[in-house]
Amino acid sequence: MSDNGSERKIENRPASKPAPSGRTPQANGNTRTRSIAFSTVIMIIGLFFSKGSSFLRNILVAHVFDNTYRDAFIAAFLIPDFFFALLVGGSIQSAITPTLSRAIEQKTLKKTWKGVSVFVTLMSIVLLVAILFGEIFSGGLYKIFYQGKNPDVVRLAGNMARTLYPQIFFMMLAALCIGVLNAYKKFGSTAFGPTIYNIGVLIAIFFLGASYPSHLYMTGVGIMAAAMVFFIFQLYMGRREVIHYKPSVDTHDPEFRRLFKLAVPILISASIVQINMLLLNSFASRFDEGSIYALNNASTLWQLPYGIFAVGIGNVMLPSLAALYSTKKYKDAGDLLSRSIKNALFLAVPCAGIFLILRLDLVKAVYQWSSSYTDENAQMAALFLIGYCASIVLQSVIFILNQAYYAIENTRFPLFAGIVSMVVNFGLCFLFVEMGMGPMSITIAYSISCAVRLLLLALVYNRNKRLAPKNIRVFLIKSAICLIVMMGGLYLIGFVSFAPSRKLFHLIWFCAKALAGFVLYFATAFLLHMEELQTAYNKYVARFIRRKKTAVSSDQA
């Protein structure tokens, strides 16, 4: 597949004639599959580094700030992130990417870029107004959302947030560049930008952070500077594509109106994720000091496998699925969606099991690098993580299904499903907390709301039999068997009385147990003849071995 993402239109030609390139339609399909597989690997590697650097940020926060300042640091991001989700969020990736992908396929780029330019210009104006609003009313907003919290945390968070609102604008511009590059299938140019941002955040925390108000606020300034560097990097990577952008406020443009109708539901849907986080943090603030930080630790952990595998696979799938749908290749579209869901779950399911069984070991391995992160901090984060484990699996499918809806230009039903899940989440959190069920109950409520959302999305999408994913039920049964075997093995390993006191040995012991879990899972998958395991081997491992053998043969020659 070429860099500009265009595909050769061969489906209307007689079967006896080869495609213009000299390849058969089947060969082109194989090339597309290999291209998607390679792009997925690049995206997953980039997301792995991004999430890894994000973990380092949480470790540094634990080392640099005490409990009050940790909670303030985490809370300071919530309302700026909500503004970003509400006004930018998924609209760039989930509306602009498939729109440009279809335009590339149909050769209507000039007309489509005009509509995209109007959309981005107006979004920028609205975002600047929102930033000004946040700067003025930041203190009042935090008092509203954190009524039951330590007043020092509320004050510090509100003031630090003022340094973070401007970064929303740079993040929006960076998201524009990423969305455009993904439409052109230049995933290598977008995979490592977030890592650069996270490195900038680490530098700001390390050199500027301390448990004093002035140091907290200067850390926010440093983080804003990191966002600016992130945008400059993505602008450079996408300079050849973004050059088509021309500022315009022509709201009568038909392409803009079409894009606007698609994007508004996506904007609201993306904000629901952040609203749910605000709700969870609001309820978490009713528990002991440090609960907000512990909830953030657990959130960061469960989003690691979700954010690497599901997001990586879904982002690569989106432009290809939109292109297949626009050319009425419905069978290929259904096959692509099936592969994407199975591949994401094949990796997410064992992660969920390991996170559940080894939750306390995992939290300590990742976060407990100094005495400032106590056993009580780790135990509270592990409690929150119990409820989140199901979300690893549920949200992986939700993300990919949402991308599929956006690819077929149905953005309203994902919004409806998201609103229903948000109401369920709030109702269950309120009920569980009032019943005195403890911190774990709010993350259990979140996972239940995710299950409701997934059920709605799957029921409606599967009505279109041509696009519906295939053979999912058999895959889920086999995955469940693999999961049970793996969790049973990890449970038995837990009886081994070995508790290393030194950090290095603790890390090695945790990694050994996690590796044993993966081996059990994949070995069971091998015995059950799961095609996802064989596919992964053929695409990545076997190809690497063949290349290595070829290189050795060449050297010997």
| Sequence spans of domains, the chain | 30-470, 471-545
Instruction: With a cut of 80, say whether residue 58 has pLDDT above it.
Output: no
Q: Which two tokens stand for residue 22?
A: 């000299």
Instruction: With a cut of 80, say whether residue 21 has pLDDT above it.
Output: no
Percent of the chain whose pLDDT exceeds 90 = 45
The candidate with the shortest Cα–Cα distance to 39, out of 181, 185, 183, 180, is 185
For residue 371, the SS3 value is coil
Average pLDDT on 394-408 reads 93
Say if residue 92 is exposed, middle or buried (CB neighbours under 10 Å; 0-12, 13-18, 19+): buried
Q: Of the ranges 111-125, 378-392, 537-551, which one carries the lowest mean pLDDT score?
A: 537-551
Q: Of the ranges 92-96, 288-292, 376-380, 447-451, which one carries the lowest mean pLDDT score?
A: 92-96
Instruction: With a cut of 60, say whether residue 33 has pLDDT above it.
Output: no
- Give me the half-sphere count of Cα atoms (radius 13 Å) on the Cβ side of residue 13: 12
* 8 Å CB contact between 184 and 242: no
How far apart are the C-alpha atoms of 98 and 156, rounded to whole Å? 41
Torsion of CA 150, 153, 155, 159, to 10 degrees: -170
- Please, which pLDDT band fits residue 15 given cuts at 50, 70 and 90? very low
Say if residue 480 is exposed, middle or buried (CB neighbours under 10 Å; 0-12, 13-18, 19+): exposed
Q: What string of DSSP letters covers 276-296?
A: HHHHHHHHHTTSSTTHHHHHH
